[in-house]
Amino acid sequence: MPSPALQRVNAFLSDFARRQAGRTTSLPGGFAVYDDAFAQSYANNQVVIDAAVDPEALPALAEEALGHLPHRLISVLDDDTGKACAGPLIRAGYTHSTYLVMLHTGPVPDAGTAQEVDLDALRVPLTRRWRGFLPDADDEVLRQLVDRREARRRGADVVRFIGARTQAGEVASWADLYVDRATGTAQIEDLITSEAHLGRGYADAVLAGALRLAAAHGSDFCFLTADATDWPRHWYERRGFAVIGHSHGFERS
pLDDT tens digits in sequence order for the chain, 253 residues long: 889 999 999 999 999 999 999 999 999 999 999 999 999 999 999 999 999 999 999 999 999 999 999 999 999 999 999 999 999 999 999 999 999 999 999 899 987 789 999 999 999 999 999 999 999 999 999 999 999 999 999 999 999 999 999 999 999 999 999 999 999 999 999 999 999 999 999 999 999 999 999 999 999 999 999 999 999 999 999 999 999 999 999 999 8
CA distances from residue 246 to 9, 151, 179 in whole angstroms, order as listed: 11, 26, 21
Please compute, for residue 160, the number of CA atoms within 13 A of its CA located in the half-sphere on the CB side: 23
Residue 2 is predicted with a pLDDT of 84
Measure the CA dihedral 98/28/30/39, to 10°: 90
For residues 63-98, one letter each, b for 16 or more C-beta atoms within 10 angstroms of the residue's C-beta and e for the rest, the string is eebbeeeeebbbbbbbbebbebbbebbeeeebebbe
CATH class as words, domain 115-243: alpha beta
Of 34, 99, 100, 20, whose CA–CA distance to 71 is shortest? Answer: 34
pLDDT at 1: 80
Phi, psi of 25 (to 5 degrees): -135, 130
**DSSP result, 124-135:** HHHHHHHHHH-T
Q: What are phi and psi of 94, to 5 degrees?
A: -85, 150
Q: Can you tell me the distance from the alpha carbon of 77 to that of 9, in angstroms, rounded to the nearest whole number?
A: 9
β-strands 171-180, 46-49: how paired?
A: unpaired
CA distance 53 to 134: 33
Q: What are phi and psi of 211, to 5 degrees?
A: -65, -40
What DSSP letter does each residue of 82-104 carry, written as one string? HHHHHHHHHHTT-EEEEEEEEEE
| Ramachandran bin of 224, using left for φ above 0, alpha for ψ from -120 to 50, beta for the remaining angles | beta
Listed by start position, the domains of the chain span 4-101, 115-243
DSSP 152: G
Which pLDDT belongs to residue 110?
83
**Could you tell me where the DSSP H helices lie in 67-191?**
79-91, 119-133, 139-151
Q: The whole model's pTM is what?
A: 0.95
State residue 12's pLDDT score. 98
Q: Tell me how far apart the alpha carbons of residues 195 and 202 are, in angstroms, rounded to a whole number.
A: 11
